[in-house]
Amino acid sequence: MKYDVIVLGSGPGGYVTAIRASQLGLKVAIVEKENLGGICLNWGCIPTKALLKSAQVFDYLKHASDYGLTIKEFDKDFGAVISRSRGVAEGMSKGVQFLMKKNKIEVIYGTGKVKPGKKVDVTDADGKTSEISADNIIIATGARSRELPNLPQDGKKVIGYRQAMTLPEQPKSMIVVGSGAIGVEFAHFYNSMGTDVTIVEFMPNVVPVEDIDISKQFERSLKKSGIKVMTNSSVEKVDTSGNGVKATVKTAKGEEILEADILLSAVGIKSNIENIGLEEVGIATDRDKILVNDYYQTNIPGYYAIGDVVPGQALAHVASAEGILCVEKIAGLHVEPIDYGNVPGCTYATPEIASVGLTEKAAKEKGYELKIGKFPFSASGKAKASGTPDGFVKVIFDAKYGEWLGCHMIGAGVTDMIAEAVVARKLETTGHEILKAIHPHPTMSEAVMEAVADAYGEVIHL
């Protein structure tokens, strides 16, 4: 079969790319070895949010008296919580199947391998291989949980994020190695369910990519919820010979032995670039990534790559944006390269974290003179009424020209608020323009305006 575009992988990069290509009048096939929607939809973004919603509801029940309500008896059904999460993922995957049919995209199930001459071999579950070809081949094979040599995953006692979503029973205790988004989201979920959780982080601060003020506030929130946090620490080895796991942890004070039922390794991801034909075709790679230009073309004409397999933030919304740009360029539309400095990042624990742009430290290192404003949710009427006063909004502006350099939030619902800063920065909005844009009252989003007002010495409610 001959197509205009073949996409390898149907994650949020791949399936979005295929749909946009079809909208542009191209004949499209998508190759998927497992489930439509990829890791994000089936084993990542979506099912974890379902788990976290169950944890949130359970937390509400535990604190019902704070809202003037009396609930005498309630409990959790861990199996039902897991089952709901899987049901949400399966429903979303079926939604992608519908979108494939609607957009007349041919779905070919099997493992794809690129070949010279703009061809792809697809091997199905029975081992049968067929060949397809296209003028343009887009690699969107995503990533998987990274395994460290000293933390080999056996899928039972030392697990990755995939097993963490489908444990047959709730562990009484868990060690989480790594405090990035994956690590802290699972730490929050299991802690909320009643598991005794310890986070081990190699860096000096949890969620280390975030602004330091966010990291400090989040660590306080973790400890307040009962999660033990060990920073400047590393797991040197694990012993799984007994009933559970014994982890030898190196700290500033020396070695410490931690014992738990389960250890979750959340130390990052590994790109899926092995055994997909890159070497045979001659596609250049460097440090686990496929090298591409601003329009996601590899060094071999007709071959492209997007998402977690290329340099840049390994985020679902980034993969989607890259795929859309890639096929629009293929179709001859005028496109502009993605501004990776204006990509929002979100962490869905409690409290949530959302950020975009430069941290205060990075802005200072670039030589900017800064105007910084902060507004705590403890001063927000909506946050107080909702019973979620923890957290704040922090904004960073260039003092000379008013450029919005960065925005960092921690609190309830902030992942739904960060888009204001992303759009404003895209439009090169200044601090004064944000101040004069009327924000509705009472809302959590008022805190953005108030933080900007604080930066310019005009804050009203603080």
Binding residues for NAD(+), as ranges, are: 178-185, 201, 268
Q: H helices of 138-276, where?
A: 161-164, 181-193, 212-224
Closest-CA residue to 375 (of 407, 352, 347): 407
Per DSSP, the three-state class of 421 is: helix
Other beta carbons within 10 Å of 56: 16
Q: Return binding residues for FAD.
A: 49, 112, 308
> What is the C-alpha to C-alpha distance for residues 375 and 191, in angstroms, rounded to an integer?
28
- Going by C-beta distance under 8 Å and a sequence separation of 6 or more, which residues neighbour residue 10? 18, 30, 31, 32, 35, 36, 37, 38, 96, 107, 140
> What is the C-alpha to C-alpha distance for residues 8 and 164, in angstroms, rounded to an integer?
26
Exposure string over 374-389, b if 16+ CB within 10 A, otherwise e: bbbbebbebbeeeebb
Closest-CA residue to 31 (of 102, 131, 135): 131
Q: Is 188 a catalytic residue?
A: no
* Residue 417 · residue 448 · CB < 8 Å: yes
Element (H, E) at 154: none
**Tokens (6 digits) for 32:** 């998927």
DSSP assignment of 170-194, as one string?
--SEEEEE--SHHHHHHHHHHHHHT
* Distance (Å) of CA 71 to CA 58, 64, 67: 12, 7, 11
* Distance (Å) of CA 322 to CA 70, 303, 358: 50, 14, 21
* Residue 131 · residue 55 · CB < 8 Å: no
Q: Return binding residues.
A: 49, 112, 178-185, 201, 268, 308
Residue in the structure block whose two tokens are 């963490």? 164
One of 63, 432, 441, 461 is an active-site residue; which one? Answer: 441
What's the N-to-C CA distance of the chain in angstroms? 65
* Catalytic positions: 441
